[in-house]
Amino acid sequence: MASVNLYQKFDYTDADGNLYSDGSTSTAKTISIDGGEIFDRTYLISSGGNPTRILDDDVIDNFDFLWIETDQVGEIQLLCNQGGSLSGNDIENGFVLKLNPGIPFILSNDASRNMGNMDAGFSESNYGDEIDSWEDDWIIDVIDRIEFYHTSGTDAKVRVFAIT
């Protein structure tokens, strides 16, 4: 079985001189990789316009490790249950995260849940109940698609590295 060694450390000193830190630059966190398929691509993405699909099931079906890094401020949309509908246990849903330049976004797997149990209908009250009880109601799934979008005025260089 293959593995990824990930080294992460942070140090923070507040205004009073108190130091907070964790992690290590010499001891790795190990992520087991059970497949061996590798996706490694660097995109040059124009500012504005439409979001660019940077990863989906067509290029790598799933992942045990994901690294996304950009040289411009940007946003990624993570989508679960691509192609779903608004009924039953089949709702497509996603969310967006902001990325800062030079700070990698890392996931150790593609496990997710989709808001797929709207059996009482898609109403405001049922939606609130689903959000509050996601651990019981949402269907175990995976991330199916990731898109990148930015409006910095400069082309963004975005590296995507995924292993399964």
Q: Read off the DSSP letter of residue 119.
A: T
How far is 84 from 76, CA to CA, in rounded Å? Answer: 20
How far is 99 from 120, CA to CA, in rounded Å? Answer: 36
**Domains along the chain with CATH numbers:** 1-33 (no CATH), 35-163 (2.60.120)
pTM exceeds 0.75, yes or no: yes
**CA 99 to each of CA 6, 27, 111, 144: distance values in angstroms, whole numbers, following the listed order:** 19, 26, 20, 19
Per-residue pLDDT reduced to its tens digit, 141-157: 999 999 999 999 999 99
- Cβ proximity of 70 and 101 under 8 Å: yes
**CA 105 to each of CA 47, 78, 129: distance values in angstroms, whole numbers, following the listed order:** 20, 12, 30
Per-residue pLDDT reduced to its tens digit, 68-126: 999 999 999 999 988 887 766 778 889 999 999 999 999 999 999 887 666 666 677 77
Per-residue pLDDT reduced to its tens digit, 18-58: 999 999 999 999 999 988 899 999 999 999 989 999 999 99
